[in-house]
Amino acid sequence: MKRMKDVMRSVLLLLAVLWPCLNLQAADRPEKSVLNVQTDDLSLVLGTASDSSLMFHYFGPRLADVSPFRNKQTYRRADYGTDDPAYAAAGGRNLLYPALRMTHADGNLNTELIYVGATTTDSSDPNVTETTVLLRDRFYPLEVKLIFRTYARENVITERVEITNHEKKTVVLHHYYSAFLPVKAQKYYLNHFHGAWAQEMTLEETLLTHGIKSVESRKGVRTTHHENPSFLLALDRPMDENYGEVIGGALAWSGNYRLNFEMNESNELYISAGINPYASEYRLSPGESFRTPEMVFTYSCEGAGGVTRNLHDWARNYQVYDAQTIRPTLLNSWEGAYFDFDEKTLTDMIDDAAEMGLEMFVLDDGWFGNKYPRNDAKGGLGDWEVNHAKLPRGIGYLADYAVSKGLRFGIWIEPEMVNPRSELAERHPDWIVRSKGGTATTIRSQWLLDLTNPEVQDFVFGVFDGVMQQSPNITYIKWDANRHVENVGSEYLPDDQQERFWVDYIQGLYSVYERIRAKYPRVIVQACSSGGGRVDYGALKYHQEVWTSDNTDALSRVYIQYGTNLIYPALVTGAHVSASPNHQTGNVMPLKFRFDLAMSGRLGMELQPRQMSEQEREMAKGAIADYKRIRDLVMFGDLYRIESPYAGTGYYSLMYVSKDKKRAVAYGYCLQYQGRTVTPRFRLRGLDPEKRYRITELNTRKSSFWGNGKLFGGDYLIREGINPKLQKCGESAVFLIEEVE
Ligand code: DGJ
């Protein structure tokens, strides 16, 4: 028997060694072929080593001739580890943090990947090319595909991995990252995001030292409050807005993620990014494949600004759902009414929204539940029929009312969650996420439904579908998710597969989204998760926008929106004007400042209009009308950040420029008292120095700028800049800049 096993093993070994020779495309042989994955301005170069393993060579500005990599010497001792792998696997000589770590069917912990071949497919879009590199374990029939997609004009390269088990028995995946990227520089300044509820996307720069720094979430749901699966890595020097080399990255995944930055003894940095391996062993049966989410990379030598613009272009052209359409302005009922409303409260709000020129009314939480009326956060969640006491004529009546006033109508749901005090929880205790035999913990008085279970997926789809059936006039859904995973456990998953929960939950969610999009391609769906808890490119594939933060205080929003828009385009960032002091921070900010800031995202309002004075309502009308003049620039223009709120000058300034450079909108905000002598100098960017422009200040009767209404050369605006008189905290200005032929 033992002899038989040995013979089998030798045959397998021989087959594995011969495999690459049998399968390689003729053009790629002999030894040391080089693969150049490229966009208009970038190259990512991989190549084979003499032992057939696939190595990483280069990522950066495009190279015309990559042939020198065939013979390049790295002077590393061959008996001391290897050169940089294209995708580090645990096993053999690799000691880097592995992107792939697994246990083979026979218990072997080593995986050694060798190159088999590569194919390139052009899509129907000439801008997009997909290169699939097939790797195989040297000794086992285990296949790994590295799939690179290039977006030529946007200079974005995405990577994902597909692992297929051709072994006789189940293999166990421990690490199955989407991408692995070695980087070489003198120093590495990692810019990443941290925060909390109401403080999302706070930017932090860290000089990386030897060892590993990770950015991650282990919360399962509501994963982006504390960190975000994205980064900007400045090479050699601290990140600058306009100069220097910066690599940008973002993972398109809404569940647990981990981005590792490992600096080793040769001062090289290794980025691995993907699903967090934390308690997430994934078993692959024979013949089964696992596909990772996509990791998105870009690079610019024009600083953070270049990275942002590449990502925004890619996101709008390829990732964000329905990104080519103008998003409507809206009034959301939450901070104006909370749970405390009846039909009249809402029809009054609709009247007021229409009168101020807004285009949609969104009914937030509190409209459903009868046995357990949703009059606070403690009951009713899960019971998605309209509350008859509050809304006797139903949702249809309200939606029709909104339409009769010229508005569109939207409504809030939170279909992944359930209150213990609900009919749903009474009916389906088996659908609740909790440890086996244990009790489920509540967060905001609610439990989480187990989306790994297809019955729950059907239910969640049914909630959306059912709500949509209440009126043909519903054109917007706010999809909320107000807790994360605790006390993990699924009654649906088998005992030995509980670790799949983290992956299967999100895949379950995505399959629900797919069904929704197949049936409701046009409805706007906002991703909200206690504010900015689901801000990632995985969610944005199905959503038009996110609720950026529950914190609507304009001063806090400066930082939240600045951070969010470093990675995600303004088109997706819901930005609402609320009462002042607002309900989160207590800061008092002028209405003009609040509007001016919200006008740099997708403008909305979230307050009780009846509490506004006549004068304030007039001002709101003017601001909303002005926003409509510039929102195409906000949504589709190139973002240039002029002054960072982190720079310590007490100013924040940004602008959006149309692709043809004929129109732009520039914003300036004063964040602290500047004394009598200091005024800002906002040197504009992105304009054409040869063109002449007229500057018109918006949203004011009394301009802060001596040049209001005057003509300027583009070169003046770029080199000298504008100096509006903004000196007190809360002063702000918005300028429309238009080419004059
Ligand atoms: C949390 C959201 O972020 C808020 O905007 C609001 O929709 C509440 N949930 C409603 O419960």
Helix, strand or coil, per DSSP, at residue 91:
strand
* Number of alpha helices (DSSP H) and beta strands (DSSP E) in the chain: 12, 36
**Which pLDDT score, from 0 to 100, does residue 11 have?**
47
The token duo for 54 is: 């696939």
DSSP string, 577-590: EE-SS-SSS-----
**Which pLDDT score, from 0 to 100, does residue 2 have?**
47
The alpha-helical segments, DSSP class H, found in 481-577 are 501-519, 554-567
Q: Rounded to 5, what percent of the chain is helix, strand, coil?
A: 25, 30, 45
Angle at 274 between CA 503 and CA 516, to 5 degrees: 50
**527 with 479: CB under 8 angstroms?**
yes
Residue from 558, 560, 465, 522 nearest 327 by CA: 522
Distance 386 CA to ligand 1 centre (A): 18
Helix (H) or strand (E) holding 353: helix 343-356
Backbone angles phi, psi at 70, to 5 degrees: -60, -35
Catalytic residue among 480, 536, 553, 596: 480
Helix, strand or coil, per DSSP, at residue 108:
coil
Distance 438 CA to ligand 1 centre (A): 29
- Provide the CB-side half-sphere exposure for 223 (13 A, CA): 28
Q: How far is CA 582 from CA 274, 366, 591, 596, in A?
A: 37, 20, 11, 16
Q: Ligand 1, residue 364: give the atom nearest the CA.
A: 7
Alpha carbons 505 and 449: distance in angstroms, whole number:
10
Distance 549 CA to ligand 1 centre (A): 10
Using CA atoms in the order 417, 226, 411, 551, what is the torsion angle rounded to 10 degrees? 130
Would you say domain 640-739 falls under CATH 2.60.40.1180? yes
Amino acid found at 704: S
DSSP string, 27-58: GG-SS--EEEEE-SSEEEEEEE-TTS-EEEEE
DSSP string, 683-705: ---SS-TTSEEEEEEES-SS-S-
Residue from 484, 525, 530 to probe ligand 1 pocket by mutation (most atoms less than 8 Å from CB): 530
Q: How far is CA 55 from CA 23, 87, 114, 137, in A?
A: 19, 8, 10, 15
The token duo for 371 is: 């046995």
Alpha carbons 651 and 674: distance in angstroms, whole number:
9
CA 481 to chain centroid, in Å, comes to: 16
For β-strands 408-413 and 474-479, DSSP reports them as parallel
- Around Cβ 70, how many Cβ atoms within 10 Å? 13
Residue from 197, 376, 412 to probe ligand 1 pocket by mutation (most atoms less than 8 Å from CB): 412
**Which pLDDT score, from 0 to 100, does residue 459 have?**
98
Model confidence, pTM: 0.95
Alpha carbons 467 and 21: distance in angstroms, whole number:
58
> Locate tokens 């029929």: which residue?
385
Enumerate the β-bridge partners of residue 297: 157, 249
Helix, strand or coil, per DSSP, at residue 224:
coil
Average pLDDT of adjacent 10-residue blocks, the chain of 741 residues: 48 43 39 89 96 96 95 78 90 95 98 97 94 98 98 98 98 98 98 97 98 98 98 98 98 98 95 98 98 98 98 98 98 98 98 98 98 98 98 98 98 98 98 94 98 98 98 98 98 96 98 98 98 98 98 98 98 98 93 98 98 98 98 98 98 98 98 94 98 98 97 98 98 98 91
Alpha carbons 334 and 329: distance in angstroms, whole number:
15
Residue from 365, 378, 607 to probe ligand 1 pocket by mutation (most atoms less than 8 Å from CB): 365
Question: Is residue 550 among the annotated active site residues?
Answer: yes
Alpha carbons 720 and 714: distance in angstroms, whole number:
10
Residue located nearest, by CA, to atom 1 of ligand 1: 530
Catalytic residue among 137, 383, 450, 550: 550
Amino acid found at 404: S
Q: How far is CA 541 from CA 257, 400, 421, 529, 538, in A?
A: 17, 30, 33, 16, 6
Distance 335 CA to ligand 1 centre (A): 9
Q: Ligand 1, residue 528: give the atom nearest the CA.
A: 3
Per DSSP, 386 falls in state B
Enumerate the β-bridge partners of residue 368: 386
Distance 481 CA to ligand 1 centre (A): 8
Helix, strand or coil, per DSSP, at residue 571:
helix
Q: Ligand 1, residue 606: give the atom nearest the CA.
A: 5
Enumerate the β-bridge partners of residue 283: 172
Enumerate the β-bridge partners of residue 48: 54
Per DSSP, 739 falls in state E
The alpha-helical segments, DSSP class H, found in 205-296 are none
Using CA atoms in the order 54, 55, 61, 64, what is the torsion angle rounded to 10 degrees? -70
CATH number for the domain running over 32-319: 2.70.98.60
Enumerate the β-bridge partners of residue 530: none
Asked whether the CA dihedral 380, 386, 387, 391 is positive or negative, the reply is positive
Helix (H) or strand (E) holding 203: strand 202-207
The burial class, CB within 10 Å (0-12 / 13-18 / 19+), for 109 is: exposed
Amino acid found at 89: A
**Which pLDDT score, from 0 to 100, does residue 80 have?**
67
> Locate tokens 């029709």: which residue?
400
Question: Domain limits of the chain?
Answer: 1-30, 32-319, 330-362+389-412+446-638, 640-739
User: Who lines ligand 1 at CB under 6 A?
Assistant: 334, 364-365, 412, 480, 482, 528, 530-531, 547, 550
- Around Cβ 587, how many Cβ atoms within 10 Å? 15
Alpha carbons 567 and 573: distance in angstroms, whole number:
11
Distance 541 CA to ligand 1 centre (A): 22
Alpha carbons 408 and 326: distance in angstroms, whole number:
14
DSSP string, 252-278: --SS-EEEEEEE-TTSEEEEEEEE--T
- Around Cβ 542, how many Cβ atoms within 10 Å? 20
Residue from 376, 379, 491 nearest 440 by CA: 491
The alpha-helical segments, DSSP class H, found in 75-222 are none
**Which pLDDT score, from 0 to 100, does residue 81 have?**
61
Alpha carbons 193 and 205: distance in angstroms, whole number:
9
Would you say domain 330-362+389-412+446-638 falls under CATH 1.10.3720.10? no
